[in-house]
Every structure is written in C-alpha cells, then in structure tokens.
A and B are shown apart, each in its own frame.
Chain A
Amino acid sequence: MSSGDSGPSSSKQLVQQPAAAGRSPNQPPLLGAGGRKVIVLKSGDEEEFEVDLLDAMQSRTLRRAIEDGCGDGPMPLPNLTGPVLAKVVELFRRHRGDPRWADELQETEKEGMFKDYAPQKPTAEVKGFDREFVSVDRDALFDLLRAANFLEAPGLLDVTCDAAADAVMNMTVEEVREYFGLVNDYTPEEEAALRKQHEWAFQ
C-alpha cells in the first residue's frame, strides 16, 4: 500500500492508507472513506476552515461528530466565531502529536489509524506558541475557554485554564474581582478577618 513511500509524516501515511486492508465494520465511515484527510469546519459567522482530520481529533466533540459520519460536508459550529475558530484550528495544528491528547487517541484507537502515531513531548517551540496563544485580553481568553469547553479539547483546555490561573495568581483581590466581574459580598468585618488571615499565610 504505502510501499516504498517514506512520506514526510506518519500521519499522512496513515490517512492515505485506503480502507483496503479489511476494516472492521465498526470503523467510523469517514476514516475508511478512501484516503480523505481534511474536514471543513464552519463557524457561526459562516467562515470555513479546512482542518487535517488528525488535528480535528484533538476535540472529543469533533471526534464524535466525525465518527457519527457528520464530517462529509462542512461541519457547522454555530457557537464559535471565525476568529476564535481560526485560533483553535492553529493550536490543533501546532499541537499535532501532543501527548495530552494523542495518548487518549491511541488508547481508543489501538488498532486503527493512530496505531503508528508517535506522541511527542511539546517542544520549546510549541510552548512558545502556547504562551503567545493566550496573550490576549480577558474577553478573548474567555472565548477560548468556552471553545475548549464546547469542543472538549484537552490540549486547548490545558493552555487556556493555565492562562486563567496565571492571570489570577498575580492579581490583588480587587483586580481579581474586576477582571472576573465578581461582586464583593462580604460584610466589612468578614472581609477584614479574611484579610488578616491572608496576612498570616505563608509568605
């Protein structure tokens, strides 16, 4: 099948492998459907993105949809905007092979198309990309967090939740309230007591 072809990436090889070698009947239809390797995602504002099938699998939501055979036409994602989806698609591309999700895929796909897929530790480059990825304002970060939640994408979730945690870590109490739109519902006495306790915490 792929004889003599030492293709550049194992993922391509795998996807290009046609369904010839007796696929089991429970194999997702799309994966067997003759070497298809990209799917199209459509944002709520009608922007379309071509995504490598393997990259889309980083999202459990997309994976379920693909396995249910919804990947033939553009897949509508009405609660994601074009700019958000563009960022997410880029992250999926950069996270290709990231063990945070590849392990999980290998677990469920032992005999399938991922069997030769080698997870790699995130490189410094990927880490740098991740940092850049979340260097955004609060609203944009929240959009990404909601996207991570909707897409059930562990890698995306990791990067965005870490960013939110990092933001909180370096803020004063007032800044945290303002940033997250939280209301101070303490009585002055309660707050004073907690502040005092805070002063006594390990410094």
Chain B
Amino acid sequence: MGAEQQPSSLLPGLPDDIALDCLLRVPYSSHSGLRCVCRQWRDLLTSPFFYQQRRNSGAAESLVCLIQALVAEEEGDGAGEHAVGGPGDGGGAVDKAQAKNSRCGAGPVYGLSLYNATLREWRRLPSKGYAVPLFAQCAAVQASGKLVLLGGWDPVTFDSVRDVWVVDLVTGRRRRGAPMPAARSFFACAAVGPLVYVAGGHDNQKNALRSAEAYDPEADEWRSLPPMADERDECQGVAHGGCFWVISGYGTDSQGRFDRAAECYDPSTGLWSKEEGLWGEDDEPGGPAPPRSSCFVLPPPLAADRDRRQEGKLCHLDCHGERRGIREYDPKERKWKAVDGVPECLKSSPCAAPVAGSGELLVMGSDEEQRHGAWVMEAATRRWTRVETPTGFTGFAFSAASVLV
C-alpha cells in the first residue's frame, strides 16, 4: 500500500528489522524453498548470522538426524498411508522403492532421517544419487550446523567404506567429504568442538582397530591422532568434558568379549588416557553401542542462563535384564548409578541422543513386535512420552546426532 520499493529491502514495504523478524520465524523445512526466491534471501538464509539470530530469538528448531534402516510403507493398509515424501515426493518414492527391494531380500537399505523435535515432524533426505552406507555413523558440529556421515558398509559388498558426506544445514548444501584415511565400521564417533573424531571399529579384514582420526568439516581435512592403547571394535564414542571418549569395544582376538576400559582423547594435550573399569562392572558386560545399548551424555536441564556451562552426565541406556534403565556414571566413585527407567514398551535396539537445545532425550528402539519407534524423555521431569512415528520411520536406527538450527 503505497510502499516504496527499495531494491535493498528484505520485504519491500517493511523495515528490515521487522522483515528479519518475520523470516526468522519461518520453519526450517521451508528454508531451502526460500533460498530460491531471490539473491538477498539466499544470502540471508545461508548465513551463520541468520541461524545465530534464530537461536537468540528462540525460533531455532531442534533437529535429530538418524541413520536408519528404511521401511516400506504397509501395503494394503489403505487407511494408514503416510505421505513420507511430502509434497513433490521425488525422493520419498525412491526411498520406498528401495525399501521394498530390501524386503525382497536385496539387503537392508539405509537412509538419513530427520526428526524435528520442535515441530514433531519426520523427514528424510532424498536418496537421489546417494546411498547411505549400512551402519554409517553421524555426528553434528553445532557451531557450523554441519552434519557429517561417516563410514559403514557398502550396501552391496558389505565392505567397510571410507565414505564421508557433509550435510550443511545452514546452506542446505551437501557434498562428499574427504574420505576417511582408513575404511572403518562399528567405530566410535563424536563431535568435540569443531572436529569430528573417529576411533576403533574394524577394517575390511574384520581386524579391530586402534587407530583414531579427526575430521575438520570446514577445511575438509583429516588429521591423524595417536592410536589408542587397545583395539576396540563395536565401541561407542561420546563427547564429554571437552574430550572424545571411546567406550569399551573388543580386540580382534577377543571377539565379542567387551573390554572394561574406556579411552579418552584430550584435544588440548593431544593424548589418550585410559579409564579402567568404566565399562562392565558386572559379569555380563555386553556392548555399549546400538543395537545392544546406547551411551550418551545428558546435558543438565536447560538453565535460564544458557551460557553457563555445566557439565553433562555420561549415561547408558539398556533395555535388557538387570541393566534395564538409564544409568549415570559417577566419575568420583567410578560407578554407574541407576537413575531412570525406560518406557515399558521399549524392548530392544536402543539408540539414544540428547536433543540439542530442548532438554530432552530422544530414544529410538523397538517394541515387543519389533516395530521401531521413538520416545522422548524430558530431562527436567524425567517423564517419557511416545513420539508418533510414521511407518516410514519405524526402521532400526543405528546412529543419531542432534543440532539446533
């Protein structure tokens, strides 16, 4: 209405402050479309400034990325048809076709799923030209909004791969990253600061590995780290206290007998240290990683002052036997303490990830009917709720990472 059209204004007719305030509130899933509108919008919606502002203004959304087995939609179940692919649907159709293949015995197919914990929506990255390796791992670098997918098995040959994919949630681009120096699967993986660390796992000859490396997603470069003291296949990695922790695992000669120690890499000293007895204080240790159980670091409940850095707690979630529940590690007494239960119907295959910026814990797992789904525990109240999980997202989840965008 009589608005002067200034070429430089974000929304012609509105002050830029207000225009920015409007755009900050548009849900993340619409951003890739908005980038197509004009250059100014693209520049804004690919800028770290914009995503910083979203976090500052409380408009940021908590996303959980999951490396997940694809599941075909129920056939003949007309009523329950979910539009997994959403409008447009190109990628979703491909995923469905691939998932159906997998039912015909062509082996499982994995995809990258995204659970938006803020809006309670499920989405999937279309798999055009890109098959997620089986048992690939993911880690998220919060500062740059980058999600890194690493390693796993080639879906056809089942060889361990060196593949790296970087999904930039700020720019919406994805690219292949510099491959891992060594092929690796079932390794420990976690983001500590700006780097993504990997350690252990096994190579193509099923040799358990001691080696460790760090990936810098900004420089697209790998840095070698000193090796760990012991081989650790099927170990689990967490970021804790500014260090990279590699929990348990086993050597080539002790297949499946999980080690009781954890090793910890301190980026400030460049050295590994070993914590004996962290894992497995009883007779039946089992593994720390999915599908057996899941280790994670639960941040303290959201403080009013977000900048105050409080240390999170190293936790372990298990669905089996005496260990069923969530336990917290007490580093002073060097003991695990049972702190919480798990939902009644969560029976196996847990994969847990704290939801960035929300004070919640998300757990994927399967119920008694082998149907996988998600549960969320609010850290402050310790209350569980089941998350409605559309059929297309009810596959086994192997790795999860969360980022606030």
Interface residues of A (CB under 8 A from B): 139, 142-143, 145-146, 148-149, 157, 161-162, 164-165, 168-169, 172-173, 176-177, 180-186, 191, 194-195, 197-203
**A165 lies within 8 A of B85 (CB):** no
Residues of B close to A186: CB separation below 8 A: 36, 38-39
Of the A-B pairs whose beta carbons lie under 8 Å apart in the complex, a sample of 28, sorted by A's number, is A139-B1, A142-B3, A145-B18, A149-B14, A149-B15, A149-B18, A161-B18, A161-B21, A161-B25, A165-B23, A165-B25, A173-B37, A176-B34, A181-B5, A184-B37, A185-B39, A186-B38, A186-B39, A191-B36, A195-B36, A198-B172, A199-B91, A199-B128, A200-B125, A202-B29, A203-B85, A203-B89, A203-B90
Residues of B close to A199: CB separation below 8 A: 88, 90-91, 126, 128
What number of residue pairs across chains A and B have CB atoms under 8 A from each other? 115
| B240 CB-CB contact with A under 8 Å | no
Complex Cα–Cα for A146 and B85 (A): 38
Residues of A close to B126: CB separation below 8 A: 199-200, 203
| B12 CB-CB contact with A under 8 Å | yes
Residues of B close to A172: CB separation below 8 A: 33
**B91 lies within 8 A of A200 (CB):** yes
How many Å from the CB of B99 to the closest CB on chain A?
15
In terms of DSSP, what is the predominant structure of the interface of chain A? helix
Residue of chain B at shortest CB distance from A200? B126
Complex Cα–Cα for A191 and B38 (A): 9
Complex Cα–Cα for A126 and B364 (A): 37
- Which B220-266 residues have a C-beta within 8 angstroms of A? none
**B91 lies within 8 A of A203 (CB):** yes
User: Interface size class for chain B?
Assistant: 35 or more
**A177 lies within 8 A of B38 (CB):** yes
How many Å from the CB of B288 to the closest CB on chain A?
29
Asked if A203 meets B124 with Cβ closer than 8 Å, knowing A142-B13, A143-B1, A148-B18, the reply is: yes
Asked if A168 meets B34 with Cβ closer than 8 Å, knowing A145-B22, A146-B18, the reply is: yes
How many Å from the CB of A190 to the closest CB on chain B?
8
| B123 CB-CB contact with A under 8 Å | yes
Residues of A close to B30: CB separation below 8 A: 168-169
Asked if A201 meets B32 with Cβ closer than 8 Å, knowing A139-B1, A186-B38, the reply is: yes
Residue of chain A at shortest CB distance from B91? A203
Complex Cα–Cα for A177 and B92 (A): 27
Complex Cα–Cα for A22 and B39 (A): 60
**A146 lies within 8 A of B123 (CB):** no
- Which B129-173 residues have a C-beta within 8 angstroms of A? 172-173
Residue of chain A at shortest CB distance from B114? A202
Residues of B close to A169: CB separation below 8 A: 26-27, 30
| B334 CB-CB contact with A under 8 Å | no
- In the A-B complex, the 9 residue pairs with the smallest Cβ-Cβ separation, listed nearest first, are A201-B32, A165-B25, A164-B22, A202-B123, A139-B1, A198-B32, A203-B86, A173-B36, A165-B26
How many Å from the CB of A197 to the closest CB on chain B?
6
Residues of B close to A143: CB separation below 8 A: 1
Residues of B close to A142: CB separation below 8 A: 1, 3, 13-14
Residue of chain B at shortest CB distance from A165? B25
Residues of A close to B5: CB separation below 8 A: 181
Most B CB contacts (10 A, CB to CB) among A162, A168, A197 go to A168
Residues of B close to A182: CB separation below 8 A: 11-12, 37-38, 41
| B313 CB-CB contact with A under 8 Å | no
Asked if A181 meets B13 with Cβ closer than 8 Å, knowing A173-B33, A176-B37, the reply is: yes
Residues of B close to A146: CB separation below 8 A: 13-15, 18
Residues of B close to A173: CB separation below 8 A: 33, 36-37
How many Å from the CB of B161 to the closest CB on chain A?
21
